[in-house]
Amino acid sequence: MTLKKFGRYEIVKELGQGGMAEVYEAHDPIVDRLVALKIIRRQFSQDPRFHDRFTREAKTIANLEHRAIVPVHDFGADDPSGQLYLVMRLMPEVLNKRLEREGSISLEETSLILNRLAAALNTAHSRGIMHRDIKPANILLDEDGTVFLADFGLAAAIDKMETGAAPAAYGGSMFYMAPEQWLDEPLGQFTDVYQLGV
């Protein structure tokens, strides 16, 4: 069955799916704007540890403001389903889709992208916040082609779950994972730096 509404949000179309969530373009009737609505899958939403961690991380990220970080407008748990959700600014393009379409980008543009994202990470790290899942699918572009980093904190919520699953089971990010993530060793700011470099 096609989802038409989730809480107050009116579903326009599906944008994508991942191991942890489904993402939709949706209309928020209260402020009359289009948004990106990320609905967390039930197996995560129903886990009390994930629920608590997600709520803490989402609250922190909603207050993390930087010109290169996708703003979070809303988050919570749907009533009565209890499914967790995150509402963000809607972006028209994802870097991995652009790379698939164009094949590559110039060295000059690559440098600009890296500098902008590094500045975003520097701000996050200065507040003790790590991303943990930097990959082209989490780098979004606005109408002018300016890049923004999305999905801060979601990987952290998964990391706190004792699932026994393989490291890449939830995000499909195995090609961008730092060695310490594979080895289940302590992570640090260097983890984000490694992923950004990859």
**Structure token pair of residue 92:** 């028209």
**Structure token pair of residue 87:** 């509402």
d(CA 82, CA 42): 8
Q: Which of 31, 47, 49, 36 is nearest to 6 (CA)?
A: 36
pLDDT of residue 86: 95
pLDDT of residue 140: 97
**Structure token pair of residue 40:** 């967390």
C-alpha torsion sign, points 61, 63, 66, 67: positive
Question: Whole-prediction pTM value?
Answer: 0.83
C-alpha torsion sign, points 90, 95, 96, 101: positive
**What are the structural domains, with CATH classification, of the chain?**
5-89 (3.30.200.20), 93-197 (1.10.510.10)
Residue bearing tokens 């572009």 = 141
Residue 6 pairs with which residues in a beta bridge?
A: 9
Per-residue pLDDT of the chain (198 residues; tens, 9 = 90+): 578 999 999 999 999 988 889 999 999 999 999 999 999 999 999 999 999 988 988 888 888 889 999 999 999 999 888 999 999 999 999 999 999 999 889 999 999 999 999 999 999 999 888 888 899 999 999 999 999 999 876 656 555 544 444 444 444 478 888 888 888 888 888 989 899 988
CA distance between the termini of the chain:
38
In the residue annotation, 144 being an active-site residue is answered as no
Three-class secondary structure of residue 44 per DSSP: helix
- Cα dist. 196→37, 50, 86, 98, 121 in Å? 25, 26, 24, 17, 9
Annotated catalytic residue: which of 133, 142, 144, 159? 133
d(CA 161, CA 30): 34
The amino acid at residue 102 is: E
124 touches 98 (CB < 8 A): no
d(CA 167, CA 186): 14
DSSP state of 18: -
Residue 87 pairs with which residues in a beta bridge?
A: 37, 74
pLDDT of residue 136: 92
Three-class secondary structure of residue 119 per DSSP: helix
